[in-house]
Amino acid sequence: SQKIEQNSEALNIQEGKTATLTCNYTNYSPAYLQWYRQDPGRGPVFLLLIRENEKEKRKERLKVTFDTTLKQSLFHITASQPAVSATYLCALPDTGGFKTIFGAGTRLFVKA
Amino acid sequence: DTAVSQTPKYLVTQMGNDKSIKCEQNLGHDTMYWYKQDSKKFLKIMFSYNNKELIINETVPNRFSPKSPDKAHLNLHINSLELGDSAVYFCASSQDLGLAGEQYFGPGTRLTVT
């Protein structure tokens, strides 16, 4: 079955810088890939979905890329602020498309 | 209005007890899910219901029994609780099963078994 790898180490960046998080998957390329944000003690919140035929997608200060050759998605937050400090989860459908597989997430800390 | 709500928020109980977690969504979605997030933060699907019908049943012990009285509600009953059941349980919903749609998660229920 599909496996997702996200950097388990926390990412620490300075306010105003661009944060880049990586999501790698191991098997087949999914039809789409999603990114979620999770704050401590809360449920994940959907941010962006990118389809296999889309190279890049943007939403406000967020940008997601999807490279099916590298089996990788990159999640960028430009001009980061402390308020975006959270855990970011990558998610994609498993075989058959009925089940969503989540990565363990990468914790992002933005220092003022 | 809360889109996906769960009760209780916290649940502390002893081994061997039986407990239930309730979930309701007011989004008009057809599909609801139960996920378990363990101490390593992996979010794993347990069950999925589409229009009250069980669609996904991952390798979950029989002690866990979901029930969907209608498509807006999905409850989780756990019998004979064990220490390893301690985790955060999330309910979620989506418009349809199998379509590329986002999932809406509840606030989670932190279950602690002592």
Mean pLDDT by 10 residues, chain B (114 residues): 91 98 96 92 90 86 94 96 96 80 93 97
Q: DSSP E strands: which ranges in chain A?
A: 4-6, 11-14, 19-25, 32-38, 45-51, 56-59, 62-67, 72-77, 86-93, 100-102, 106-111
- Per DSSP, the three-state class of B84 is helix
Name the residue among B43, B98, B100 with its Cβ closest to that of A49.
B100
Q: How far apart are CA A88 and CA A102, in angstroms?
A: 10
A105 to B41: CB separation less than 8 angstroms, yes or no? yes
**Contact across the interface for A99 and B104, Cβ inside 8 Å:** no
- Cβ within 8 Å of residue B111, ≥6 positions away: B11, B13, B19, B21, B78, B81, B85, B86, B87, B88, B89
Interface test with B, best of A102, A106, A107 (most B CBs within 10 A): A102
CA B67 vs CA A63, B15, B44, B50, B78: distances in Å:
39, 22, 19, 12, 11
pLDDT tens digits for B29-38?
A: 999 999 999 9
Q: In chain A, which residues have their Cβ closer than 8 Å to the Cβ of B58?
A: 99
From the list B40, B92, B103, the residue facing A104 with the nearest CB is: B40
Instruction: Give the E-state strand segments of B14-58 in sequence order.
Output: 19-25, 31-37, 43-50, 53-57
Q: What is the pLDDT of residue B100?
A: 61
Chain B (30-49) residues lying within 8 Å, Cβ to Cβ, of chain A: 40-45, 48
In sequence order, which residues have a C-beta less than 8 Å from that of residue B62 and are 6 or more positions away? none
- Do the Cβ atoms of A99 and B108 come within 8 Å? no
pLDDT attached to residue B1: 66
